[in-house]
Amino acid sequence: MGNEIPADFFKTKLNEAKIHFERALDCKHTEFDDLYPYMIEHPQFFWYKRYVAWSELLTIVKLCEELEMEWQPQFSAAQVEYIQKRVMSSKVLDYWFETNDSKEHVS
């Protein structure tokens, strides 16, 4: 006991999970690539990588909800809707950044 979680801990973890998911959507390097470097050679890799990042994001959101912490302000209205539906559909993959031409993609 006595180990209190800093107020911004979950906000930071939520932001990290969002960035991880967005990097996976953009097919950019994530720590998952370091864990499974051989998977880059397989076509299903990018789907699995996105699924893992989406699961991580949903897990952090669930924890925030259980702790009654706000998580929605870090996302657009459409993204909040996708997260609340919990299903990573083609719509999520295609429109997470609002449009495919969006400059919001992560660097």
pLDDT at 106: 52
Residue pLDDT, tens place only, 24-45: 998 887 877 777 777 767 767 7
Token pair of 16 as six digits: 């990290």
Q: How far apart are CA 82 and CA 33, in angstroms?
A: 25
89 vs 57 pLDDT, higher one: 57
Q: How confident is the model at residue 1 (pLDDT cuts 50, 70, 90)?
A: low
Whole-prediction pTM value?
0.80
**pLDDT above 90 (res 76):** yes
